[in-house]
Structure 1
Amino acid sequence: MTPKQRRLARRLRQLRHNAGISIEDAATRLGCKQPKVTKMELAQLGVKPEEARALCELYGASEATTASIVSLARNAKVRGWYQSYDDAASPENIEFVDLETDAVSVSNFQIDLVPGLLQTREYARAVLRAAHPDLIDEVLEQRADLRIKRQDRVLDFSLAVWAIVTEAALIRAVAGPDVHRAQLKHLTGLATMPNVQFQIIPTREGEHMAMGVPFDCFRFDDGCGTVAIDHLTGTLFLEDETDVERYRLAFQHLCGVALSQQDSLAMLHRYAKEEHSEWQRRN
């Protein structure tokens, strides 16, 4: 089962629930028995593009949503480039990258880390090692490869990224002074790209509504979205419209709390020049 098949199943189930349509009515529309629809919604049975279109029409989905769902059904069994990392990454990692690959934009909030899409390889390797100290070196390197490969869509301008971090992300010297400085320098370059928006929440701003809750909001071509929340034992994916909207509103709140992009870039430049570096004060 591919991540796309699981996402297709969840999207169809959600559309049916939102429309208030019974499984029996869905089965009648497809000219099949109820168990087939149930298996479709559990990703235990594939969905043909024409079946996906018929269900979307029954559920009253918009043209954009229908086109997106039909495309998902058409490509559900296609293995993505990232699935060559199946042996090194967890299923949640693969599903996360699948979402990111299909998204048109991602809004990311991190507390004390630079977002994965903006990390250097050395920084990424250190973060992965800290989170998984028992990983063998070969697997660690493969996971670092996957993280860096994800950045291709940022560099070719096909993915819009809006990243918000707290000031702590600039202070935490992951992997020591050299890697820390290189990461900040790398970040200053990416933050000026036309498809990257970068903001910082200064420590002096105090409380905000997402304290202690880093998250990613993915938006797809039909306007629908998914939220991903990392925790120590995996990743939680939220697709319910109410949940997704809650996180979108939270991100908008963070945008208002954070420094403007211009002021954020100025602060980032100051840290990159080590004017505020803890390492500079120690040496």
Structure 2
Amino acid sequence: MPAGGRPTVRSRRLGTALRQYRQAAKLDQLEAAEIIAASQARISRLESGHVTARVIEVRLLLDAYGVTDPGVRARLEDLAKHSRKRGWWLEHAEHLRPDYMDHIALEDDATYIREWQQALVPGLLQTPAYTEAVIRTSPDYMTPELVTQLVMVRQARQAKIEEGGATYSAVIWEAVITHPLVSAEVHREQLSAILEVTERKNVTLQVLPFSVGALATVTSAFSTFSFDSEPAVEAVALENLRGTSVLEAPEDLVAYANMYDLLRSSALAPDESAKLIRTLC
């Protein structure tokens, strides 16, 4: 069972894929259960992510569902192998909300990460000083020790793109760079850091200008994640007052993929975005 008795991001992704392939094969849960000599309840729990499928179960089910693509099979078998893998962020679990850990797990597995931010510099690009300033604006009381832990976690998340483990692209509204929510000194340091990190081949940042009008208000901040060699969106994380919500329904994935493409195509080109940022440093 996933740690803590709740579905992990990996077990849920595996379960969702198994359910979709079963339905495409026009088999019901009882028929699927017979394939692995298990109960219908186990299939239900596998597909919901509440229990972790064994690799042999994944292989037998994919054979029965007619899934022959080697890449798909390898990816799902890998999820089965590592669904209970202990991520680095669990060392900080006592300080982190479960939904935040889900977000980090998505980042850790992703090959492509795309992000839209209309108010803040994206977390994967934030300097420690900027992160601390933002965290301290929280209406919830936080001890100095907790603030330090949260800053450390946000910096640790950045290793994913610093090491080239994912292709990262972000679109930010012009207000993020022209209307600082932190001190002038911290803001200038942050802008300089953005220019430095966007020199990496796997990082792209674009600024959505005020001139596009109301497009920036259509949706709040979100991130999309892909886990394969192709950039098809497989999960979306939405930020809200109570934390982060993860969407995985096909219609939601299409909607947010299209929204990101619209924001990206409406934004300044990366070189023009960098030029604008330099004028503010």
Give your verdict on TM over 0.5: yes
SS for the counterpart of 1:96 is helix
Is the counterpart of residue 187 in structure 1 residue 194 in structure 2? yes
How far is 1:12 from its partner?
Answer: 2.6
**Residue in 2 aligned with 1:49?**
55
**Residue in 2 aligned with 1:119?**
126
- TM-score, normalised to structure 1, is 0.90
Is the counterpart of residue 232 in structure 1 residue 238 in structure 2? no
Q: Is the 8 A contact 1:68 1:222 kept in 2?
A: no
The residue type paired with residue 242 of structure 2 is: T
**Residue in 2 aligned with 1:147?**
154
**Residue in 2 aligned with 1:261?**
270
Is the counterpart of residue 196 in structure 1 residue 203 in structure 2? yes
How far is 1:38 from its partner?
Answer: 1.4
How far is 1:142 from its partner?
Answer: 1.0
Is the counterpart of residue 75 in structure 1 residue 82 in structure 2? yes
How far is 1:81 from its partner?
Answer: 1.0
**1:131-182, CA deviations, whole angstroms, 9 ceiling, x for partnerless residues?**
3531222122111111100111211112111100010110232331111111
Q: Give the whole-Å Cα distance in 2 for the aligned partners of 1:174 and 1:192.
A: 25
Aligned residues: CA RMSD? 1.8
Moved more, 135-144 or 246-255: 135-144
Q: Give the whole-Å Cα distance in 2 for the aligned partners of 1:240 and 1:198.
A: 27
Q: Give the whole-Å Cα distance in 2 for the aligned partners of 1:235 and 1:14.
A: 24
The residue type paired with residue 17 of structure 2 is: R
Q: 1:209 to 1:245 in 2, by over 3 A?
A: farther
The residue type paired with residue 153 of structure 1 is: K
What aligned pairs does 1:17-32 form with structure 2 within 5 A after superposition?
Answer: 17-32=23-38
**Residue in 1 aligned with 2:39?**
33
SS for the counterpart of 2:280 is helix
Which of 91, 98, 114 does residue 91 from structure 1 map onto? 98
Q: 1:180 to 1:133 in 2, by over 3 A?
A: farther
SS for the counterpart of 1:271 is coil
Q: Is the 8 A contact 2:118 2:216 kept in 1?
A: no
How far is 1:210 from its partner?
Answer: 6.1
How far is 1:222 from its partner?
Answer: 5.8
Q: 1:50 to 1:64 in 2, by over 3 A?
A: same
How far is 1:257 from its partner?
Answer: 0.5
The unaligned stretches of length 5 or more in structure 1 are: 273-283
**1:212-251, CA deviations, whole angstroms, 9 ceiling, x for partnerless residues?**
4211000001645100001000211111222112111111
The unaligned stretches of length 5 or more in structure 2 are: none
Q: Is the 8 A contact 1:112 1:168 kept in 2?
A: yes
The residue type paired with residue 244 of structure 1 is: L
Q: Give the whole-Å Cα distance in 2 for the aligned partners of 1:168 and 1:57.
A: 52
Q: Give the whole-Å Cα distance in 1 for the aligned partners of 2:163 and 2:201.
A: 11
Moved more, 104-113 or 221-230: 221-230
Moved more, 27-36 or 204-213: 204-213
**Residue in 2 aligned with 1:281?**
none
Q: Is the 8 A contact 1:105 1:160 kept in 2?
A: yes
How far is 1:211 from its partner?
Answer: 2.3
